Chains A and B, each alone.
Chain A
Amino acid sequence: MSFDLETAAAPQGLRRVAIDPVSRVEGHGKVTILLDAQNRVHQVRLHIVEFRGFEKFIEGRPYWEVPVVVQRLCGICPVSHLLAASKAMDRVLGVDAVTRSAESIRRLMHYGQVMQSHALHFFHLSSPDLLFGFDSEVNRRNIVGVAEARPDLAKKGVLLRKFGQEVIRATAGKRIHGTGSVPGGVNKHVARADCNALRRDVSQMLEWAQDAINVVKLLHAQNPALYDAFGSFRSNMLSLVRADGALDLYDGTLRARDAAGAILVDGADAQRYLDLIEEEVRPWTYMKFPYLRSLGREAGWYRVGPLARVQNCDFIPSPLAEAERQEFAAGGRGAPVHATLAYHWARMIELLHTVEVIGRLLDDPAILDGDLTAGGARRGEGVGIIEAPRGTLIHHYRVGSDDLVTMCNLIVSTTHNNQAMNEAVRSVAREYLDGRELSEGLLNHIEVAIRAYDPCLSCATHALGRMPLDVALLGPGGELLDRLLKSHTGEVLRTMDAPVGLPG
């Protein structure tokens, strides 16, 4: 059985619109929409057109090399992959708990990563849409437009992100290609000078993170009808939580709630994630569809990421963010918030939380001194799960007695959110596209829904000269009827020259 609007009942004779690739989304994504002669929507699909094969790239490598190599999966959150792989390799080495210093330094690194990623997402990817409106002039919907209209906001975004990267540099050794986290622990303490320099900026970062939440709350308050309804749909939610139910981005057990907020699964051991989650392959996309085994494919799909995390936990273990969580939750009037645009609000609550945690960890003497690594009895297998900026990230490895990786399975946040992103796109298509003439502004509504999840397709290839947006209108026989290209400079060009060749 198919989901509503996933597959048209009678696709013959329908027109197809393709948005390829989705702008501001890493990697190659494409949306295709099948319309009839009256522009009624019959089918909407978010496709992933690149097959990464990263697991095969890892297999055959020595285990100690993996935490460094997996950072090349993603140019935006390499530290999340570094730490998920390190945690999995801890288990391979028989290390069930790293030393206190290693745990604090890794946490500091991770919260720095989440902080800088959230700052980038809100201030530079989403705020142009939110501040200027989804139908605004295309050339204004970017960070340069934000910088011109709200220079204070743009500058805070840049400096928040810079601070997060300095935390990464102080803990991982370098801004990129960091080696600070290794199987079994970490390989260096934080330098006292770095610690002192970072500590000086914490109060300023807290103030700016609070400002960011206020901007999001103001946007919601100004247009609650839009923010509550846009791309909204009900779903289960999945994330790690700490043993006491607190939000924890670095470690914990898996918890899932249903759409009404009731707990479906709690305390699930990360090492046994395969008992909980199954992945389905569908023929029209390379990205799999995970779901909770106990509920099956149609009822078991779920959302991950900030919206899931701030509602899955019982509380946030830092006072400012907890107060914000309570205010956010009150908006649901006793039920979970399912609005797609609420991801931005939840993300900014997490941004504030990460700064609070960073401030606390910078005062922890264990980051300056103490044992760095632990040992144990070697196992052949390990799973590392972490809450990456976009959601739950799973790394699973088997390692042979020759130290080489024999099996690698990665489930990244974007894969967990695959069904949810498709549901969001279909919700928007029903609301805004059905029966109407297409325009760039309307098509941007689709992209806004996708960007709320911040899908990261992790190819990190970005050769110069790519076209950011390709909209093709095809006839019933697949013939090209019309095509718009948005150039590197934002200029929109109508052309029938370049080949399209998009699979259905």
Chain B
Amino acid sequence: MTAPLLVFAWGNASRGDDALGPLFIERLRTAIDADLAVRVEFLEDYQLQVEHALDLVGRARVLFVDASASCAAPFEVLPLHAARDASFTTHAVSPQAVLHVFRDLQHAEPPPCTLLAIRGGSFDLGSPPSARALANLSAALVWAHRWLAAP
């Protein structure tokens, strides 16, 4: 059975603060109790892609999580709406475009989706996440518990 809540994070664990997405999943997964765990699915990938639209099927709510080089620290929360975009710079698409693909494939509106952008600053290969980014991650995790507990 499909879990009603989906937390989807992306990033590269070997790329400094780009690891914030995978770390978010790793830490949140171990921090929730068993009752909540059955209601949440955690997914991770290197990049967001079109087929991830299929991961949204049957969900009540979805949280997208990524490191951001431009959002306000420690993190920003934005409601997501389906939108065409031209963000095909890195073989990856934006969360908004994933929602748009969902709409086209399923002929229905996607579930309510939220973007959690966690501020990072250094994305060098082989570097560990910076102390500042990890502090931002901690703040984001506190917020995430509220998102999970929401009705």
Contact = CB atoms under 8 A, between A and B. Distances in A.
A69 interface: yes
Contacts of A27: 90
B120 interface: yes
A201 B96 CA distance: 30
Interface in A103-158: 120, 124-125, 138-139, 141-145, 147-148, 151, 154-155, 157-158
A462 interface: yes
A456 interface: yes
Contacts of A176: 44-46
B46 A142 contact: no
B18 A461 contact: yes
Nearest to A71: B46
B50 interface: yes
Contacts of B125: 52-54, 57, 459
B87 interface: yes
Given A142-B86, A161-B51, A463-B18, A125 B45 contact: no
B1 interface: no
Contact of A462 (B44, B86, B90): B90
Contacts of A147: 100-101, 104-105
B120 A490 contact: no
Nearest to B78: A464
B54 A158 contact: yes
B12 interface: yes
Contacts of B47: 75-76, 460, 462
B30 interface: no
Interface string B120-148: 10010110000000000000000000000
B86 A139 contact: yes
Contacts of A175: 45
Given A54-B125, A120-B49, A142 B85 contact: yes
B67 interface: yes
Contact of B104 (A69, A125, A138, A148): A148
Nearest to B115: A464
Interface in A478-504: 486-490
Nearest to B68: A464
B88 A142 contact: yes
Nearest to B96: A489
Contacts of B104: 144, 147-148, 151, 154-155
Contacts of B89: 21, 23-25, 462, 466, 468
Contact of B91 (A120, A142, A148, A465): A120
- Give the interface size bracket for A toward B: 35 or more
A489 B54 contact: no
A460 B13 CA distance: 10
Interface in A37-86: 52-54, 56-57, 69, 72, 74-76, 78
B6 to A, nearest CB: 15
Interface in A1-38: 21, 23-27
B70 A460 contact: no
B46 A78 contact: yes
Contacts of A469: 86
Contacts of A460: 12, 15, 18, 46-47, 90
A72 B53 CA distance: 23
A143 B86 contact: no
Most buried by B among A56, A145, A464: A464
Contacts of A456: 91
Contacts of B70: 463-465
Given A24-B91, A78-B46, A456-B91, A144 B12 contact: no
A165 interface: yes
B86 A75 contact: no
A462 B100 CA distance: 20
Given A69-B14, A175-B45, A488 B85 contact: yes
A162 interface: yes
B84 A139 contact: yes
Given A25-B89, A142-B88, A489-B83, A161 B50 contact: yes
A219 B92 CA distance: 26
Contact of A76 (B84, B91, B94, B126): B91
A154 B117 CA distance: 28
Contacts of A125: 88, 91
A155 B103 CA distance: 11
A147 B17 CA distance: 33
A272 B95 CA distance: 45
Contacts of B46: 72, 74-76, 78, 176, 460
B91 A468 contact: no
Interface in A446-465: 456, 459-465
A120 to B, nearest CB: 7
A50 to B, nearest CB: 9
Contacts of B17: 463
B51 A488 contact: no
User: What 9 A-B pairs come out closest when comparing CB atoms?
Assistant: A75-B46, A465-B70, A490-B86, A147-B104, A24-B88, A463-B69, A464-B68, A144-B84, A72-B14
21 contacts: A21-B89, A24-B89, A25-B91, A26-B90, A52-B125, A53-B125, A72-B12, A75-B46, A75-B90, A76-B47, A120-B50, A147-B101, A175-B45, A176-B44, A176-B46, A459-B15, A461-B18, A463-B69, A464-B66, A465-B68, A466-B89
Interface of B: 10-15, 17-18, 44-51, 53-54, 66-71, 83-94, 97, 100-101, 104-105, 117, 120, 123, 125-126
Given A23-B88, A147-B105, A463-B17, 18 more contacts: A72-B13, A72-B46, A142-B88, A143-B101, A147-B100, A154-B101, A161-B51, A176-B46, A463-B66, A463-B69, A463-B120, A464-B117, A465-B68, A465-B69, A465-B70, A466-B87, A466-B90, A490-B85
